[in-house]
Structure 1
Amino acid sequence: MESLNSLKDHLLILEENLLKPEIRTSQIELKKLLADEFFEFGSSGSVLYKDDQLVDGIGIVKMKMSDFEIHLLSDNITLVTYRIFNELKNQYSLRSSIWKFKDGRWKMYFHQGTPTDF
């Protein structure tokens, strides 16, 4: 098992990758990061599933992440929390993701975005 700090650094990189246009628009890259069972409660209120997201990708965003933290749920499952500022919508949201280590890699199983005023 990775040290807590290296795990935090690794998951931060994976979350930041999911903000990059070249990842968000690539079915190949999304398949590497999202578990087959992945689903999301979007900040728009919609529920999305991996198969839906892989058709057209997630869409281009310009977001800044802050307050990144990890919360170990077990040896191979971690809850990640952070804040996002969407520069295009001028909107803040709280974010959470559940990552699971399986078959030698971390994959996202769940994500939620909740709008907030700050």
Structure 2
Amino acid sequence: MSVNDEDIVAEVVERELQLMSPAVRSSRERVARLLDPEFVEVGASGRRWDHRSMLAALPVMQGAADDGPQYVPTGMTGTVLAPGVVHLTFETVLDGRRARRSSIWRKSDEESGWRMYYHQATPVPDA
């Protein structure tokens, strides 16, 4: 990975971490700046989310309250797949539940910056 790629991945990792922050999750406006208008997620529950449904639900989902369970990410790595496209993989624990996660971020223009285009969460069964 080139130095430039490392900088790009670091920027995308920072945005991914923002999406796990209660301060961001509880704000539809802040989340909207981080999700691509064509955003799709397949959650750990198997539910499919789009941009509109995620903006509506995220502020009341687990991980959005300062005094509630919060995401703890580990092993986050990223790869620049093509100019303007980054793939992240990592695991999280939320309220004792582990999930393996994969996100695709894209940058369509300088003004909006990097936005999450796709996210997949797969539950990890207890060992």
Tell me whether the two structures share a fold, i.e. TM-score over 0.5. Answer: yes
Q: Unmatched 5+ residue regions in structure 2?
A: 64-69
Whole-angstrom distance in 2 between the partners of 1:3 and 1:111? 24
Larger strand percent: 1
Q: Given the alignment of the two structures, is residue 67 of structure 1 paired with residue 68 of structure 2, yes or no?
A: no
1:36-75 alignment runs, 5 A limit: 36-58=37-59, 59-61=61-63, 62-75=70-83
Helix, strand or coil for the counterpart of 1:45? coil
Whole-angstrom distance in 1 between the partners of 2:39 and 2:17? 18
Helix, strand or coil for the counterpart of 2:20? coil
Runs of 4+ in 1 over 6 A off after TM superposition: none
Q: Unmatched 5+ residue regions in structure 1?
A: none
Contact 1:21-1:60 within 8 A present in 2 as well: no
User: Per-residue deviation at 1:6?
Assistant: 1.4
RMSD after superposition: 1.5
- Give the structure-1-normalised TM-score: 0.89
Contact 1:25-1:56 within 8 A present in 2 as well: no
- Number of residue pairs aligned between Structure 1 and Structure 2: 115
